[in-house]
Amino acid sequence: MDETQQHSQARWGPKDRILLGVYRNDDLLVTLTKNALDFSWMMAVPSKFEELLSEEDIKSSADLLARFLPQVVEPGRMDKVIGPENVVDIFIQAWVAFMAERGVTLRALPPYFRSRVSYATTSSLPPPAPEFSRHSISLAHDSEDVACLIPLYIQFSSHGPVPAMEDSARADMIEAVNARTVWVCRVDGAIAGYTKVGRTTPRTIAIRNVFVSPQYRRRGIAEALVRAVTRYYLGVRPLGFDGSPEGHPVGGIKTEVCLNVADEGVVRLYQRCGFMLDEDARDPVTGRKGSFASIWRGVERVAV
């Protein structure tokens, strides 16, 4: 909901500030929010309740949200939801059942996208590794970098649920480079791969893209990028790479670097970088679960 998020979501249409929460006394259990008119609804569970909520808690919360939602928006605007898989699935069931009571037949659609959400902290990071320090990693900074990044971004997005066209890729890269959120790895002066960060909060920042051009793969570039960027935003020294800007990160040092992984083939790479993606992984300090399954799915109206 901060200015950075507003700016990055401007492409999804006008602002749409809808914030719904289910409380038990003073404890916020489940949230359902919408930030932009053409972007999906988002569900979340505060981290301290991730493992404490029973299925009955989630069902009752989902039912309350489903019954309250038409008081806030026209029901047809509930179409797609992103969030923890078990919470989203139960909410979709509650919404379909509630609308059926109102004489509207909806069909729950198969998932558009599945992933696993994880994070790294200073306590989960591995030590710097000499084999990654040889890579040249720095912030992208000019129009020439933007031009080189556009085809890489298009290739990256082609594997996701919303492939980018050239115009949207150019706009996204110009915005990201100007915001100093794109890091590149250069080989002989050429951009071999990049990673983009975003979704910044006072405590966290997320790695959004990691992509290496096919001709430069199997050289450790992706792992070097992830290790470097994660250490930089967590403020861990030594950084283990050359090329970082002086001083602290814009927005300050974070306590968590977050990650959303859709490709099972790269899970081990991220685990080597300190992300707790194993189903049994726990934060070494807090004991908090290291990851959860995320889903993006929706509903459509059935003509009768």
Locate the DSSP E strands across 54-189: 80-84, 106-108, 113-120, 136-139, 182-187
Q: Could you give the number of structural domains in the chain?
A: 2
Structural Rg of the chain based on CA atoms: 20
Amino acid residing at 3? E
**DSSP 8-class letter at 175:** H
d(C-alpha 89, C-alpha 242), whole Å: 45
pTM: 0.85
Higher pLDDT: 136 or 1? It is: 136
CATH classification of the domain holding 216 = 3.40.630.30
Contacts of 83 (CB under 8 A, 6+ apart): 42, 43, 44, 294, 295
Average pLDDT score over residue span 265-281 = 93
What pLDDT, in 10s, does the model give residues 246-264? 778 888 899 999 999 988 8
Instruction: Please check whether residue 280 lies inside any domain of the structure.
Output: no
d(C-alpha 160, C-alpha 148), whole Å: 20
Instruction: Please check whether residue 285 lies inside any domain of the structure.
Output: no
What pLDDT, in 10s, does the model give residues 1-35? 556 555 556 665 667 788 999 999 999 999 999 88
Residue 55 tokens, joined? 């299925």
Q: Judge if 141 and 260 occupy the same domain.
A: yes
Q: Judge if 174 and 33 occupy the same domain.
A: no
What pLDDT, in 10s, does the model give residues 167-208? 989 999 999 999 899 999 999 999 999 999 988 888 999 998
- What's the domain range around 142? 125-275
CATH classification of the domain holding 49 = 3.40.630
